[in-house]
Chain A
Amino acid sequence: MKSTYLKPTKDKINTFLPLGSIFVIFAFLDILTNTFLNRNITGFLPQTLSYFIPLLFGYIGFYLIRIEFSGIRFLDKLNKNINSSNFNAFLTLLILFIIIKAISPLMNWLILEANFAGSSKDDCTGNGACWVFIKVWFNRLMYGLYPDVEQWRVNSAFILLFALVGIAFFVPQKIKKYFIIFLLFVYPFIGIKLLSGGSFGLVYVETAAWGGLSLTFIISAFAILFCFPIGVFLALGRRSSLPAIRYISIGFIELWRGVPLITVLFMAAVMFPMFLPDGTFIDKLIRVLIAITLFEAAYMAEVVRGGLQALPKGQYEAAKSLGMGYWRMNVLIILPQALKLVIPGIANTLLALVKDTPLIFVVGLMELAGMIGLAKTNPKWLGMAMEGYVFAGLVFWVICYAMSRYSQNLEKKLSTER
C-alpha cells in the first residue's frame, strides 16, 4: 500500500514534480558551488556524508520525477534518455558529477591559468600549461631542422599540393583525368625537387634535416600513393589461379603482417644496407619510406581481397562472357565494385598508416612526436613533456578524426548511388 503511495504517478504530478526538481536542483547546486566557488554548503554535516549528498539527493530527485506519460514533453524526453531506471539515474549522476569535477582543473590547466605570452621558460609563472613552449618551438615542430630561410619551400610545396587537389575537384570532367594523372605522377617529383633542392638555384637540404609535422605529411602522402597500387596487385596475386604467383603473394603478405612495424624499420635502417653492394648508399628516408609502404601494402592487400571475395561470382562470369581478358575484367568490372565495398577498410588502413608515422623516430628521423622528444630534453625547456604531448596528440587527433569523418561521408555518398 505504502509503495504505491510513494510511486510517482501522473495524478500526483503536482506533488512529485516540484519536490523532485528541488532535490535535483539542490544536488547540482551543491556540487557546482563546491567545485567553482570553493564553498561547501553542506559543510555542517560529517565529511563522508557531505561528500555523498549530491549523489544521494540527485538520486532521490531523479526517482521522484520519473513519472511515466506525464504529458510534459521535456520531462518525458528527459526520463526516456537519461532517467529510465534507478540504475540509469545513478550512472547519469555519476557521469555528470565526474564531468563537472574534471572540467574545472582541466580548463584551469589548459586556458585559465596557462601562460601564452613570453619567450622563455621563465615567463611561465602560472600553475597551468606553458604554451610558450609550443610557441617558441612551433617552427621546429612543423619543419624539423629545415633551415629557417628555406621554409618557404616546404610551405609552397604543400600549398601547391592543396591548391592542385582543390582545383581538381572543380575542373570539368574531361580535364579532370589529366589533372589527376599530373597530380599522381608529375607533382611528386616537383614536390621532392622543391624540398630537397640542389638545382634551379635552390640550396640543397639533406633529408636528415627534414622533420616535424611536414615530414609526417610527406611520408604519409608517399606511402599512401605507393601502398595502394602495390596492395591491389598483391590482392589480385593472392586470388590468382597461377600457383607460383599465389604462394609468393601469400608469403609476402603474411610475412609483413606478422611482424611489428618497429622491427621492419630496424630492418630498413640496420639490416638492409648489408644487402647492398659495398659503397652504394640509399638515403635513410627512402629506405624507411619503402619499408612503411611495403608494410602497409600488405594490410591494404588484405582489405582489397575482402572486397574481391565479397563480389558475386556472376560478375566475373559476366565479364568473361563479354570476352574480356584478365586485366580488362579486373580494371573495368571487378576492382571498381570491390574497392567501393571496402572503403571503410581502406580508410582504416590509411588512418593506421598516418598513426604509424611517428614510429620513424626509432631510426632517428624526427617528425612531430620525435621533435617534441628533442625539444623537451633541451636544457632550457625541461619539464615540458605534458604540454608537448598534449599538443601533438591534439594535432594528430584532428587529422585522424577528420580522415575518419571524411571516409564515413564518402561511404554514405557512394552507397546512396547504388
Chain B
Amino acid sequence: MNLKKLNIENKKIRDFIPQALTVLALLSVIFYFATNAQINMGNRGISFGFGFLSQEASFDIAFSLIEFDGSYSYGRAFLVGLLNTILVSIIGIFLATIIGVIVGVARLSSNYLIAKTAEWYVEIFRNIPLILQIFFWYFAALRALPSPENAINFYDISYLTIKGWYIPKFVWTNFDIFFYSLILAFISIYFLNRYAKKQREEFGKILPTFTLSLGILISIPLLSFLLLGVSLSFNYPELKQLSETSYTYVNGVSIIPELIALALALSMYTATFIAENVRAGVMGVGKGQKEAAASIGLNKGQILKLVVMPQALRIIIPPTTNQYLNLTKNSSLAAAIAYPDMVLVFAKTALMQTGRAIEIISITMLTYLSLSISISILMNWYNKKMAIKEK
C-alpha cells in the first residue's frame, strides 16, 4: 500500500523535477543575456526602443517598388526591403513552379534521352550551393552581356544589357476601373464554377467551365476598355547618350541585374526540389487507379485530369509549399549581391547606421518567422481540406 503511494509520488516528482530544471535554466539564461544587454547598451548610451524607425534614413535604395529616398524614415526603408523580398519571392516561385513541373514530368518520360536530361538537370543544380549559383549568374553570366549601345534587341521593344533588362512601361488611364473589372471577373468565375459543380452533381450535366471562365476573364476587362474609358499605352525604352562613351535607356522600366540573377538562381535551384516532388507525386498514384479509370472508359486526358492529378496533387502540394517557404527564406541571400531586400536594406545598411543590433535583427527575424508561420497555418488548413474524407 505504502509502496504504491510512494510510486505515484515518485512519478509526479520524477515528472516535475526535469521540467522545473529546464524552465529554470532557460529563464536564467534569458535573464543573464538580458542584464548583459542592458549593461552593454547603457555603456554605449543607447536605450532599447523602436523610436528610431521614424527617424530619417538618409540613404538611398537602388531599386524600390514604392517611392523612397533619403528623406524617408527607417520604417519606410524596412517596407521597401520587405516589398523587394516579396517581389523576388513571387517571381522565383512562379518560375520555379514552371521549370519544376516540366522537369518533373520529363523525368517520368518514356523517352530515355528526355528522362536522363531531366535527371542530370536535377543532379547538377541541386548539388551546387545556391549562393554559388547566384554568384555565377551575377558575377559571371550576366557580366558577359553587352553594354547599352550594343544591347540585345528584342524587336525594338525590350533590351537586354549589362545594366539590366529594359522593358516597356505600362501607362494606364483609369487603372482603378480596370482593376475592379478584374475583381468582378474573378467573382463571376467563382460563381460560375459553383453553379457548374451543382449542375454536374445534381443533374449530371457537364458545362464547359474552362472555356466559359476564359471567356469571362477576357470579356469583362475588355468591356472596361471599350465602354468605361480604360486605356493602356506603352513607353518604350529609348537609348540616350549620357556622355561620350556612356549610354543608358530612358522611359522604360529597368529590371536590375541583381534581381535577374537572384530570380534565375532561386528558381533553377528550387525547381530541382519541386521536380522531385512532382515525380514522387505522380509515381505515388497507384497503377490500378489508372487502369480502373481506363476500364470505365475515360480517355487519356480525362484520366490525367480527373483521376491522376487530384491524387498526385495531394502528395505534391505539402512538400512543394515547404519549398516555396525555403525559396522565400533563401531570397535573403540577396544581401550577397546587393539586391536591396529586407536583409540588405534593414539588417545591414540600417543596422550599420543606427547600431541598434538587437532591435533590427529581432524585427527581421520576426518578419521571416511570421511569414513562415502564416504560410504553414495556411498549409495545414489546405491539407485538412484536401485530405481524403473517410466515412
Contact = CB atoms under 8 A, between A and B. Distances in A.
A257 interface: yes
Interface stretch (B60-68, B126-134, B196-204): B126-134
Interface in B280-309: none
A241 B12 CA distance: 12
Main secondary structure of the interface of B (DSSP, over half): helix
Interface of A: 81-82, 84, 88, 91-92, 95-96, 241-245, 248, 254-255, 257-260, 262-263, 266-267, 270-271, 274-278, 351, 355-359, 361-362, 369, 372-373, 376, 385-386, 389-390, 392-393, 396-397, 400-401, 404
Interface string B364-387: 110011011100000000000000
Contacts of A81: 110-113
B361 A263 contact: yes
B139 A369 contact: no
Contacts of A278: 36, 39-40, 43
Contacts of B135: 369, 372-373, 385, 389
B250 interface: no
Contact of B333 (A254, A271, A359): A359
Contacts of A390: 136, 140
Given A242-B19, A259-B365, A389-B135, 9 more contacts: A92-B111, A95-B114, A257-B372, A259-B372, A266-B351, A389-B139, A393-B132, A397-B124, A400-B126
Nearest to A403: B127
B129 A274 contact: no
B207 interface: no
A257 B369 CA distance: 8
B329 interface: yes
Interface in B20-49: 20, 22-23, 26, 33, 36-37, 39-41, 43
5 contacts: A258-B372, A263-B343, A263-B365, A276-B36, A396-B132
Contacts of B37: 274-275
B208 interface: no
B51 interface: no
A376 B129 contact: no
Main secondary structure of the interface of A (DSSP, over half): helix
A248 B22 CA distance: 9
A81 B116 CA distance: 11
Contacts of A84: 110-111
A385 B141 CA distance: 9
B156 interface: no
A254 B373 contact: yes
Of B23, B131, B133, B335, chain A has the most CB atoms within 10 Å of the CB of B131
A262 B152 CA distance: 35
A215 to B, nearest CB: 14
A274 B126 CA distance: 37
A91 B111 contact: yes
Nearest to A88: B111
A396 B333 CA distance: 18
B365 A362 contact: no
A270 B365 CA distance: 14
Contact of A95 (B40, B113, B358): B113
Interface string B219-261: 0000000000000000000000000000000000000000000
Given A270-B357, A271-B361, A92 B347 contact: no
Given A389-B132, A404-B127, A96 B36 contact: no
A262 B112 contact: no
A257 B376 CA distance: 12
Contacts of A357: 129
Contacts of B26: 248
B345 to A, nearest CB: 13
B376 to A, nearest CB: 9
B330 interface: yes
Interface string B328-339: 011011011000
